[in-house]
Chain A
């Protein structure tokens, strides 16, 4: 039982260690030439300051929602994959129906022009 927990703790440690190491290495190895632009907080190339109620195109939301939908649906594949043998033919059929509907949804979204960046 204890070994079980230990593995998790170790995973956490390694997960913290690797990025920490990378950041540490880049600070000591990289040259530092500070310009006013570089001193600004970085935010995907956009102006970091401005009105709090900034508007941005609704297109982002559409993509985000679409991503969310398909992402969550893919999650369903995971338990199926794990139990693939036990679920046997029943699971396969279920999954095919499910995939069909996901595919239809994709088709619909595509045809409705959601995938085009206008």
Chain B
């Protein structure tokens, strides 16, 4: 028996190693010193270090033959995005977890572990590594969601997420095993070459496998009809974690789906366009319609997040170079918007209470002008009003759909944006046009305010001057095999 030793490329995985080491170090520091500040500092340092390493990796392509990980511009782009999301989440949590009784020593390292899961997920070139990173991501998330031990909604959310997540993971694993059975390999490259020779979109088994995998992955991106967990979990989780979950976790799985459809499953994909079309329409419509009458802002944004998954699915349907660029752009923009929206809500936490109910936002602009302005910019962007990042994202998404011939889908998307205006602007009006209800004593956390202000400015800057980001995305997409 011969054992082929994999070529070890430590430089390629150095950032991941850094994140791992700092997460472990953070846990140990917490165990030995019980110093939240130190844990925070160590975790932040780890993220920043990894970020710098990734920046130096930009432009150095290379999928290693027979390797588990790809290091190319596509993965580097997403890795940087995840690290930034994690940094933002940490900054937004700083004030929140002091107030709301979260066990902070484990909180920050867990964010690092979840980020590591996302990073490995987009880089994986093998179904097994993919499954492992999804589990790493999910398990960290289960704990983070339940990290407010004193609040029963948090516990309930974690429990539901765990149960449903295990259910979905089982399907994912089943799908993986079917694909393995059909192609004899778990490596993306080998699967593709195995499927490449087959006519008619591949054997029956592979389609069942894809269907099962889609259940597992669709669950993670909260795609209708696998979305049921999302409102409950988003609502119950600590608010910064809701932001983290709805952006980072979702984007990581989307990035993976795009890679899977481009690379190993490009042949059978042609049979799945209609299914994705239906999923896109269902997610957009159900998400927006359900958000219309929500009285709880967090739940409203949870449904809106389902709708946004639907918008991104438009790119999955269109699936050419232009659509890929649009998808990456939209995910970046969505990450900023999601973090901003949930960040603003997190900043309004007071003691153990939080401001979820829509009534609490009445006349918010008079007492909390900064939060209100940033939240409004974010809501306008979510609705896709020009001169915000959201408009740019939707513009590219819909034009990609039109250019690929999916005009009906683009029209449905535009109609959905129109529906969504109702609840986004409703909340905005409430903050500005109505007299304030005296809500006293919400915090004025400096770091958090600075963070949301920066995010809000970013929304506007990207809305007015998106070209640099577009250039970067073009390079990232160029790293993928041509369609």
Point out residues on A near B: beta carbons under 8 Å: 83, 86-87, 90, 101, 104, 107-108, 111-112
Contact = CB atoms under 8 A, between A and B. Distances in A.
A61 B27 CA distance: 21
A108 B27 contact: yes
B31 interface: yes
B439 to A, nearest CB: 39
Q: Which 6 A-B pairs have the closest CB atoms?
A: A111-B31, A108-B31, A112-B31, A108-B27, A86-B3, A90-B5
A34 to B, nearest CB: 46
A104 B5 contact: no
Contacts of B27: 108
Contacts of A87: 3
Contacts of A111: 28, 31-32
A108 B3 contact: no
Contacts of A107: 28, 31
Contacts of B5: 90
Interface residues of B, number: 8
B24 interface: yes
A107 B30 CA distance: 12
7 contacts: A90-B5, A104-B24, A107-B31, A108-B27, A108-B28, A111-B32, A112-B31
A104 B28 contact: yes
Contacts of B28: 104, 107-108, 111
A83 B3 contact: yes
Contacts of B31: 107-108, 111-112
Interface in B24-78: 24, 27-28, 31-32
Q: Is the interface of B mostly helix, strand, loop or mixed?
A: helix
A111 B24 CA distance: 14
Contacts of B24: 101, 104
Given A86-B3, A87-B3, 7 more contacts: A86-B1, A104-B24, A104-B28, A107-B28, A108-B27, A108-B28, A112-B31
A72 B27 CA distance: 22
A78 to B, nearest CB: 16
Q: Is the interface of A mostly helix, strand, loop or mixed?
A: helix
Nearest to A93: B8
Contacts of A86: 1, 3
Contacts of B32: 111
A83 B27 CA distance: 34
A83 B5 CA distance: 13
A86 B28 CA distance: 35
B166 to A, nearest CB: 15
A83 B3 CA distance: 10
Contacts of A101: 24
Nearest to A112: B31
A101 B1 CA distance: 29
A60 B28 CA distance: 24
A118 to B, nearest CB: 17
A83 to B, nearest CB: 7
A82 to B, nearest CB: 11
A51 B31 CA distance: 39
Contacts of A90: 5
Contacts of A108: 27-28, 31
A79 to B, nearest CB: 11
A61 to B, nearest CB: 14
A90 B28 CA distance: 28
Nearest to A86: B3
Nearest to B1: A86
B38 to A, nearest CB: 15
A109 to B, nearest CB: 9
A100 B3 CA distance: 24
A40 B327 CA distance: 67
A108 B33 CA distance: 12
Nearest to B105: A112
A71 to B, nearest CB: 18
A29 B317 CA distance: 76
Interface in B240-278: none
Contacts of B1: 86
A86 B3 CA distance: 8
Contacts of A104: 24, 28
A89 B431 CA distance: 65
A55 B5 CA distance: 50
A90 B5 CA distance: 8
A18 to B, nearest CB: 34
Interface string B268-306: 000000000000000000000000000000000000000
A112 to B, nearest CB: 6
Interface in B1-20: 1, 3, 5
Interface string B370-412: 0000000000000000000000000000000000000000000
Most interface-central of B1, B3, B32 (chain A CB within 10 A): B3
A48 B32 CA distance: 43
B120 to A, nearest CB: 16
Nearest to B106: A112
A87 B2 CA distance: 10
A93 B3 CA distance: 16
A83 B1 CA distance: 10
Contacts of A112: 31
A79 B129 CA distance: 20
A101 B28 CA distance: 12
A87 B3 CA distance: 8
A107 B29 CA distance: 12
A22 to B, nearest CB: 40
